[in-house]
């Protein structure tokens, strides 16, 4: 078993041989534990309207420069049918956090309609932020079986620094939401951002141990990518203590985090995050070689993609699905082996 000290040392290492051995060890472990396949989740970004104000996010409510959109039910159904036809196996419905019966019932009915496609052929993951336990239950009963909600950072102090202090963005609420998702029976996915202002190797080592401790069957971790119109970017230019790593270092740290997590919990699903692609055109292939086994191709209608601007991602607006020599599990759900090993 790998210790906290070793994890921290590996995160800090600049030795090319040590780093490439780490990636190789994780990729070999993935092959032995869950096999060679990469599974796909077609990502549908249904709306950039959000009630939250996370300080790092380009679609935060207070960003008046962000042009808002919401896909219609029919547009979402067309995306889901496209995912089915392309044998993606699963979809992710992601968007800004919203509440209210009109919104939550709309999601319920969409999940029910998507379940009809191919007679339940598509796995459905939701990623719509913090909701009440009742709403999570309603969506689960409608047919969603996975939910993605990142903890963003496992350190409560750092969490406070990257969220507004308005009572709506609390660490405790995030933990409660994650516990609710697990107890309802979702395959709950979480994760963190890597290379945040103020974040150090100790924080990242704690994140990995936290993710293992919480026993999440799937994880999506990706680099922090600044967005010009967010308060966090302003802070990083005015507060010398809020510095963060270069693009190359954030890329390397993200790949190391994937490898280390694979070594800590070999049988989970680990996503090659889309944000990696914003840092390097081959970011996702690199992540697969470092131990990731899930890719989320964006299937949002292309006219809307430029508005879902979490960070500067011009580089990935026209993505193609080049996954190098990876073997793709077409038409399969690709559920987390860890989840079923536990059950």
- Which residue ranges make up the site for ligand SF4 (CB under 6 A)? 50, 52, 54, 57, 59-60, 96-97, 129
CB of 56 to ligand SAM, least distance (A): 4
Q: Could you give the count of Cα atoms lying within 13 Å of 194 in the half-sphere of its Cβ?
A: 28
Paired tokens of 176: 């409660």
Residue 193, contacted partner among ligand SF4, ligand SAM, none, CB below 5-8 A by kind: ligand SAM
Closest CA to 324 of 289, 272, 275, 277: 289
d(CA 331, CA 89): 4
Among ligand SAM, ligand SF4, none, the one that 275 touches (CB under a kind-dependent 5 to 8 A) is: ligand SAM
Cβ 57 to ligand SF4 shortest distance, Å: 3
Distances (CA, A) of 123 to 37, 114, 157, 219, 280: 17, 9, 36, 17, 29
Nearer to ligand SAM, 271 or 326 (CB): 271
- Burial label, 41 (beta-carbon count in 10 A; 0-12, 13-18, 19+): buried
Compute the least distance from the CB of residue 222 to ligand SAM, in Å: 6
**DSSP character at residue 214:** T
Rounded to a whole number of angstroms, the minimum distance from the CB of residue 279 to ligand SF4 is 18
Residue 225 CB, nearest approach to ligand SAM (Å): 4
Residue ranges with strand state E in the chain: 37-47, 90-95, 123-127, 146-148, 187-190, 193-194, 218-223, 269-272, 294-295, 327-328
Q: Which residue's CB is nearer to ligand SAM, number 99 or number 200?
A: 99
Cβ distance to ligand SF4 smaller for residue 25 or 61: 61
- What is the C-alpha separation between 194 and 261, in angstroms, rounded? 13
Binder of residue 60, out of ligand SAM, ligand SF4, none (CB less than 5 to 8 A by kind): ligand SF4
Query: Pick from ligand SF4, ligand SAM, none: which does 338 bind, CB < 5 to 8 A by kind?
Result: none
Q: In the bound complex, what is the minimum distance in angstroms from residue 166's beta carbon to ligand SF4? A: 12
CB nearer ligand SF4, residue 24 or residue 61: 61
Footprint of ligand SAM (CB under 6 A): 50, 56-57, 94, 96-97, 127, 129, 149-150, 152, 193, 222, 224-225, 227, 275, 310-311
Q: Please, which residues have CB within 8 angstroms of residue 200's CB and are 6 or more apart in sequence?
A: none
224 binds, among ligand SF4, ligand SAM, none (CB under 5 to 8 A by kind): ligand SAM
The token pair that represents 102 in the structure block: 């009109």
């Amino acid at each position: 078993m790998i210790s906290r000290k070793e994890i921290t040392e590996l995160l800090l290492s600049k030795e090319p041989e040590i780093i490439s051995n780490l990636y190789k060890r994780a990729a070999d472990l993935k092959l032995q534990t869950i096999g060679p396949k990469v599974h796909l989740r077609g990502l549908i970004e249904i709306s950039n309207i959000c009630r939250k104000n996370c300080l790092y996010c380009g679609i935060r409510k207070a960003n008046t420069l962000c042009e808002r959109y919401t896909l219609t039910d029919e547009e979402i159904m067309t995306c889901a049918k496209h995912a089915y036809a392309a044998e993606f196996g699963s979809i992710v419905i992601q968007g800004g956090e919203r509440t209210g019966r009109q919104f939550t019932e709309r999601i319920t009915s969409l999940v029910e309609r998507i379940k009809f496609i191919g007679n339940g052929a598509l796995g459905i993951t939701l990623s719509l932020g913090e909701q009440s336990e009742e709403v999570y239950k309603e969506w689960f009963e409608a047919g969603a079986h996975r939910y993605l909600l990142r903890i963003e950072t496992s350190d409560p102090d750092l969490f406070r620094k990257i969220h507004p202090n308005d009572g709506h963005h609390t660490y405790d609420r995030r933990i409660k939401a994650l516990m609710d998702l697990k107890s309802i029976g979702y395959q709950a996915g979480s994760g963190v951002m890597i290379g945040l202002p103020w974040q150090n190797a100790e924080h990242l080592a704690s994140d990995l141990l936290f993710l293992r401790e919480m026993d999440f069957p799937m994880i999506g971790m990706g680099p922090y990518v600044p967005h010009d119109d967010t308060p966090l970017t302003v802070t990083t230019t005015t507060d010398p203590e809020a510095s963060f790593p270069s693009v190359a270092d954030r890329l390397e740290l993200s790949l190391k985090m994937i490898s280390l997590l694979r070594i800590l919990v070999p049988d989970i699903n680990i996503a090659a995050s889309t944000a990696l692609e914003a840092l390097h055109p081959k970011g996702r292939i690199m992540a697969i070689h470092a131990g990731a086994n899930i890719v989320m191709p964006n299937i949002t209608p292309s006219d809307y993609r430029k508005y879902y601007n979490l960070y500067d991602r011009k580089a990935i607006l026209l993505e193609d699905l080049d996954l190098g020599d990876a073997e793709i599990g077409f038409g399969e759900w690709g559920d987390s082996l860890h989840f079923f090993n536990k059950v």
